[in-house]
């Protein structure tokens, strides 16, 4: 009976993966795109976030404050509409950093990345790389005429022990928008940008059979979305 259930689940999983591969293509046809970002600028932003006296975890509020101020200063190079969203957890104060572009009113698109880390580590990948991404996006949005208001947000307290709690910076920010009845068209979370590689077997997966669908090279970008999340993700 156990073997039957095991193989039944495996068959169901394979069928689901086949369904996904047929209905949600892994990639589109390759397109020649202009080089918009400066890799040296991305590296500088990454080093700016990681070059601190201690890890950017919830215990080191002075380091988090220093990082938040660095992010604010970088945002100010692209827009004058930059602010801190301060909130308290116990006796300590933490802050999100928000930079706005486009119209002052109307629907918003939120693009966020967290600048805190888990434990005692540098956190270059998770998630200084994501913060470098939104800083680069700020540079690209500078002086652009936009249909929607775009808020770039550097979040704090996204890692344990506050992960999946109401103290997360993203929760605090989302709740503030909800409470103020701000219309939000959609939100994009940039998490661990990673790197590009055309080398064989440079891409790993939590489930081995996913290589049958997405290939074994880390030469693409994945967009993950929640089911039934509306038109924004299409």
Which tokens belong to 27?
């990639």
Q: pLDDT per residue over 92-101, tens digit each?
A: 999 999 999 9
Going by pLDDT thresholds of 50, 70 and 90, the confidence category of residue 176 is: very high
Residues 131, 151, 73, 56: is their CA dihedral positive or negative? negative
The pLDDT value recorded for residue 207 is 83
pTM, 2 dp: 0.82
Confidence band for 142, pLDDT divided at 50, 70 and 90: very high
Encode pLDDT of 122-138 as tens digits: 999 999 999 999 999 99
CA distance 38 to 78: 15
**Confidence bin at 214 (pLDDT 50/70/90):** confident
Domain 80-217 in CATH 3.40.630.10:
yes
Q: From residue 147, give the alpha-carbon distance in Å to each of 102, 112, 116, 178.
A: 7, 19, 31, 21
Mean pLDDT of the chain: 87
pLDDT per residue over 18-39, tens digit each?
A: 555 555 555 555 555 566 777 8
pLDDT of residue 219: 84
Model confidence at 185: pLDDT above 90: yes
Does residue 144 register a pLDDT over 60?
A: yes
Q: What is the pLDDT of residue 224?
A: 75
* Residue 3 reports pLDDT greater than 80: no
pLDDT at 6: 59
Among candidate residues 83, 89, 61, the one with its CA nearest the CA of residue 171:
89
Q: Which of 77, 57, 148 is nearest to 111 (CA)?
A: 148
Query: What percentage of the chain carries pLDDT values higher than 70?
Result: 84
**If residue 114 lies in a helix (H) or strand (E), which one and from where to where?**
strand 108-114
How many C-beta neighbours within 10 Å does residue 76 have?
13
Higher pLDDT, 215 or 117: 117
Q: What's the rounded Cα separation, in Å, for the pair 120 and 110?
A: 29
Distance between CA atoms of residues 108 and 186, nearest Å: 7
Domain residue ranges of the chain, discontinuous segments joined by +: 80-217
Question: What confidence category does residue 88 fall into, taking pLDDT thresholds of 50, 70 and 90?
Answer: very high
Average pLDDT estimate for 117-121: 95
d(CA 10, CA 91): 50
What is the pLDDT confidence band of residue 15, given thresholds at 50, 70 and 90? low
């Amino acid at each position: 009976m156990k073997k039957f259930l095991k193989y039944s689940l495996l068959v169901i999983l394979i069928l689901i993966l086949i369904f996904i591969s047929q209905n949600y293509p892994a990639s589109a046809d390759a397109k020649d795109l202009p080089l918009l970002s400066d890799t040296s600028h991305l590296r500088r932003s990454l080093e700016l976030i990681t070059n601190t006296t201690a890890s950017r975890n919830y215990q080191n509020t002075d380091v988090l404050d220093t990082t938040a101020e660095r992010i604010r200063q970088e945002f100010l190079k692209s827009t004058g509409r930059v602010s801190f969203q301060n909130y308290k957890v116990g006796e300590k104060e933490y802050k999100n950093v928000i930079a706005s572009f486009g119209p002052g009113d109307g629907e918003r698109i939120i693009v966020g990345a967290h600048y805190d880390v888990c434990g005692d580590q540098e956190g270059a990948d998770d998630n200084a790389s994501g913060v470098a991404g939104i800083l680069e996006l700020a540079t690209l949005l500078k002086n652009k005429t936009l249909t929607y208001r775009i808020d770039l947000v550097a979040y704090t307290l996204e890692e344990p022990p506050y992960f999946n709690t109401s103290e997360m910076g993203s929760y605090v920010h989302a709740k503030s928008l909800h409470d103020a009845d701000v219309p939000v068209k959609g939100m994009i979370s940039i998490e661990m940008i990673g790197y590009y590689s055309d080398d064989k077997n440079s891409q790993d997966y939590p489930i081995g059979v996913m290589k049958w669908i997405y290939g074994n090279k880390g030469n693409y970008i994945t967009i993950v979305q929640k089911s039934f999340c509306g038109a924004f993700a299409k």
